[in-house]
Amino acid sequence: MSQFFSDFSVYLQNPTLTPNINRKFSITMIIGVPKEIKNNENRVAVTPAGVKELVTRGHKVYVQHTAGIGSGFSDELYTKAGAEILPAIEDVYAIAEMIIKVKEPIKQEYPLIRRDQVVFTYFHFASDRELTEAMIRSGAVCIAYETVELPNRQLPLLIPMSEVAGRMSIQEGARFLEKPQGGMGILLGGVPGVKPAKVLIIGAGVVGRNAALMAAGLGADVTITDISLPTLRHIAEVMPRNVKTLYSSRHNIESELPDTDLVIGSVLIPGAKAPKLVTRDMLSLMRPGSLIVDVAIDQGGCFETSTPTTHSNPTYSIDGIIHYAVANIPGAVPRTSTLALTNATLPYALCLADKGWRQACKEDHALALGVNIVEGKVVFPAVAEAWDLPCHELKL
């Protein structure tokens, strides 16, 4: 009975909560939302609206001080929604049964993650052995947004950020083709009497299609490649006339590179390392000052010469070719990105909180595919293959 009055006092102190009489104010799960500390990462994993949904169902939510400020959400908004604010990241990790994040934990977060704690975020294990080994040592349950997969092969938690990254790749590409930014000084859409820039997009998934739409809208001469003929047929039917399709092969890519100004790499194999489709030798085919944007850098990159960069230092040059390989492109537009991401992740977060991760994954095969590491064991085949580790069966 004392627990009832304790939980009832929580409600009285947070009048924005909507009491659920069926739960009798019981707290089902303790959820932590830490502030993202990756370079120039201003997104937040749960909005105040998401907090309100969680607390309405009887869960307790702790949000780190200023976690949402980069996306325009103040501590006051979280408090009104029913969250409690904690001053430090260590406090959030220490109290939470489930951590909800945006980006993978970085080195200073590794020791804060404990055994049996659920961590729900983007991980991209196949591109980071140190992270993989750290999460194995932690004994945590690591559920990766990027490998949650529906029966139709869609990746519902990757799609919104792929849409943002695809559109941003053209926006950033246009910027870094400017001469003051190190580019050759080309306007993407050209002007009357001057040809537009040529854009080559490798991969016609969500990123590639969104990049093509943006580039076409700016008036560029766009070519998009893929190995799926049905995909290319669909693109040919729905895209503007300045978007052309091309079957993806080494020969065709090499043929396009000499007069291409901007190359977008957008190839994805869910949970696995991206294939290297443009090699170091192929850079010699390109003109100095042209630009490559590697949107696949989270999964290791699809250009052989790609190395992850940050928004504070986004580009570098190899053989006169400008490389843009920011690993969290959507972090540059955090308000849009946070809203888009949480629209997709919140239903899964609610399911995990309401049912516990095992039952939630037992009932939803798409969510079960998101489980990558459990209590020190890799259970996702592509991650095990990437680092030559044993792959264990996921037991629910």
Annotated catalytic residue 298: yes
Q: Are 192 and 150 in contact (CB under 8 A)?
A: no
The pLDDT, as a whole number, for residue 77 is: 98
pLDDT tens-digit profile of 52-78?
Answer: 999 999 999 999 999 999 999 999 999
Q: Measured between alpha carbons, how far is 373 from 100 in angstroms, rounded to an integer?
A: 16
Do residues 236 and 99 share a domain?
Answer: no
The pLDDT, as a whole number, for residue 79 is: 98
Do residues 339 and 326 share a domain?
Answer: no
The pLDDT, as a whole number, for residue 13 is: 43
Give percent above pLDDT 90 in the chain: 89
Q: Are 282 and 254 in contact (CB under 8 A)?
A: yes
Do residues 328 and 338 share a domain?
Answer: no
Do residues 347 and 216 share a domain?
Answer: no
Confidence class of residue 27 from pLDDT cuts 50, 70 and 90? low
Is a pLDDT exceeding 60 seen at residue 22?
no
Do residues 18 and 141 share a domain?
Answer: yes
Average of per-residue pLDDT values in the chain? 92
Q: Is residue 307 part of a domain?
A: yes
The pLDDT, as a whole number, for residue 5 is: 35
Q: Is residue 207 part of a domain?
A: yes
pLDDT tens-digit profile of 78-111?
Answer: 999 999 999 999 999 999 999 999 999 999 999 9
Instruction: State the CATH number of the domain containing residue 102.
Output: 3.40.50.720
Q: Domain count of the chain?
A: 2
pLDDT tens-digit profile of 353-375?
Answer: 999 999 999 999 999 999 999 99
Q: Is residue 391 part of a domain?
A: no
pLDDT tens-digit profile of 229-266?
Answer: 999 999 999 999 999 999 999 999 999 999 999 999 99
Do residues 290 and 174 share a domain?
Answer: yes
Q: Is residue 37 part of a domain?
A: yes
- Catalytic-role residue among 128, 221, 261, 298: 298
Confidence class of residue 10 from pLDDT cuts 50, 70 and 90? very low
- State which residues form the domain around 84: 2-148+333-386
The pLDDT, as a whole number, for residue 26 is: 47
Least confident of 24-33, 161-170, 219-228: 24-33
Is a pLDDT exceeding 90 seen at residue 272?
no
Do residues 137 and 236 share a domain?
Answer: no
Q: Is residue 393 part of a domain?
A: no
Annotated catalytic residue 234: no
The pLDDT, as a whole number, for residue 297 is: 94
Q: Is residue 395 part of a domain?
A: no
Q: Is residue 394 part of a domain?
A: no
Confidence class of residue 330 from pLDDT cuts 50, 70 and 90? very high
Is a pLDDT exceeding 50 seen at residue 17?
no
pLDDT tens-digit profile of 275-322?
Answer: 999 999 999 999 999 999 999 998 899 999 999 999 999 999 999 999
Do residues 27 and 117 share a domain?
Answer: yes
Q: Measured between alpha carbons, how far is 309 from 317 in angstroms, rounded to an integer?
A: 12
Strands 321-324 and 315-318: antiparallel
Do residues 201 and 56 share a domain?
Answer: no
Q: What is the pTM of this model?
A: 0.86
Do residues 343 and 324 share a domain?
Answer: no
The pLDDT, as a whole number, for residue 24 is: 41
Do residues 93 and 239 share a domain?
Answer: no
The pLDDT, as a whole number, for residue 273 is: 85
Q: Is residue 228 part of a domain?
A: yes
pLDDT tens-digit profile of 181-211?
Answer: 999 999 999 999 999 999 999 999 999 999 9
Is a pLDDT exceeding 80 seen at residue 225?
yes
Do residues 133 and 170 share a domain?
Answer: no
Of 115, 169, 145, the C-alpha closest to 43 is 145
- Catalytic-role residue among 124, 226, 294, 323: 124
